[in-house]
Amino acid sequence: MVCKPGKVVVAMSGGVDSSVAACLLVEQGYDVMGLFMRVGAKEGSTVRDDNGWAAVVVPDSGTRPPEPPSRAHQGCCSASDAADARFVAGMLDIPFYALNFEQEFDEIIDYFADEYARGRTPNPCVVCNDRLKFGKLMDYADAVGAEYVATGHYARIGERGGPLRGGGLAAGEPQTDASAAKRTDYVGGGRRTLLRGFDRQKDQSYVLFGLRRGILDRVLFPIGELTKPQVREIAARYELPNRDKPDSVEICFVPDRNYARVVRERRPDGFVDGEVVDATGRVVGRHQGIGKYTVGQRRGLGIAAGKPIYVTGLDVLNNRVTVGDDAALLRGSLVADRANLFVDGLGESFAAQVKIRYLHTAVPAIVHKRNGGKVRVVFDEPQRGVTPGQAVVFYDGDVVLGGAWIEHASDEDVIPISSAGAGFVT
């Protein structure tokens, strides 16, 4: 008798990626359960499922596919997204539940507002992945006896010490037999670790750096070896109604991109007028509250300087915004805290390619461990816009070594160490 691979809870957002992930898991013989996370919409009544979890009743669209999505679609987790997810689950004949995580998600919005009010730039997607998609969702998997949790992220889980697909697809590089055959070996420990998605244009490993090492054996990324066009081709083969649904491109609870509105609603004390100064301390204007600004920001400063100027620093204690030209944004190093490393034996200092924001191109650097979960990252070349509150993530090719939360930029002198290639530094 052939045994099924196991029971898996797949997070279904109503988008094409998670829908195709569910399709592939069914194809592979898993016992699949679809789960939608309701995080704030008021539609639908809340009940308790058989395991005592707060669930939301999603109206059944019957045999009629949901309405075609608007090209302006920017958020996720709406009632219409829930309906899309439920319809796809019905097509696949798998159980589907919508759980109410409104309270937990409200805490993430509080974090978002708190960080801006503190002069930091938050990354709620990382926090949502850590606390909900691979936190609460893993708890739910335990409650229903599921071995695995799966999502539609463009990332992979690989086995260190064995052959791993290396290189991935560079931006604009087509997938060919030659590119698919790329391989690299990463030696160390024989444990499961996080890898970049095969399609570098869609890779989401940056926002997954905070996953707990202990759960990697239970995480599945079914589309991690695919490109976005291939995902849409599979969706078309299944005739999924959301096959042409556009990607969510903004923070789901701020689809209008008005971050200041959210911060002002929750932390009005972060909107006290104050001085805007240049690097010498000379007052050059007034600001409308620290919570409205982020390092690297150019728009909305309201200062005529005769050249482009940017926010280069936020002083919450003195309620002061510092501005300067593009060169003033360059920093040679940073200090980060709450480091999460997936790989053992890296030593007190190690070379890596690092990303300091989601769309940043990874650059060579040396990572120095410090006490208390802190690290100091020294770039080979100064980098623009090191932003407190964002994540710095460390890579060795496709392997995610780990990451940390940026505390502040730093230009302390250090002993230079060559970082021509990622790996151990002796």
State the helix-helix crossing angle for 16-27 and 79-92, rounded to 10 degrees.
20
Q: How far apart are CA 164 and CA 157, in angstroms?
A: 10
Q: State the amino acid at position 267 in one-letter form.
A: R
Residue 402's pLDDT is 96
Residues taking part in catalysis: 128, 252
The DSSP output letter for 213 is G
Q: How far apart are CA 365 and CA 410, in angstroms?
A: 14
Encode 254-292: b = buried (16+ Cβ within 10 Å), e = exposed.
bbeeebbebbbebbeebbeebbbbbeeeeebbebbbbbb
Q: How far apart are CA 22 and CA 8, in angstroms?
A: 10
Q: Can you list the positions of beta strands (E) in 165-319?
A: 184-185, 192-196, 219-220, 274-277, 283-287, 310-315
Residue 48 · residue 54 · CB < 8 Å: yes
Report if pTM > 0.75. Answer: yes
Residue 79's pLDDT is 76
Residue 342 · residue 401 · CB < 8 Å: yes
How wide is the angle at C-alpha 132 spanned by C-alphas 158 and 345, nearest 5°?
A: 35
Q: How far apart are CA 88 and CA 34, in angstroms?
A: 9
Residue 66's pLDDT is 53
The DSSP output letter for 371 is G
Q: Tell me which residue of 218, 82, 36, 69 sits closest to 142, measured CA to CA.
A: 218
The 10s digit of each residue's pLDDT in 312-343 is 999 999 999 999 999 999 999 999 999 999 99
Report the SS3 class of residue 345. coil
Report the SS3 class of residue 137. helix
Residue 87 · residue 66 · CB < 8 Å: yes
Residue 423 · residue 396 · CB < 8 Å: yes
> pLDDT 10s digit of each residue in the chain, 426 long?
455 689 999 999 999 999 999 999 999 999 999 999 987 644 444 444 555 544 444 545 455 555 554 444 445 667 788 999 999 999 999 999 999 888 899 999 999 999 998 999 999 999 999 999 899 999 999 999 999 999 999 999 987 654 443 333 333 334 433 333 333 344 345 578 999 999 999 999 999 999 999 999 999 999 999 999 999 999 999 999 998 888 876 678 887 788 888 888 998 888 899 999 999 999 999 998 988 889 999 988 888 878 889 999 999 999 999 999 999 999 999 999 999 999 988 999 999 999 999 989 999 999 999 999 999 999 999 999 999 999 999 999 999 999 999 999 986 544 333 343 444 342
Residue 365 · residue 380 · CB < 8 Å: yes
Q: 206 vs 74, 150, 335, 360, CA distance in Å?
A: 20, 17, 18, 10
Report the SS3 class of residue 123. coil
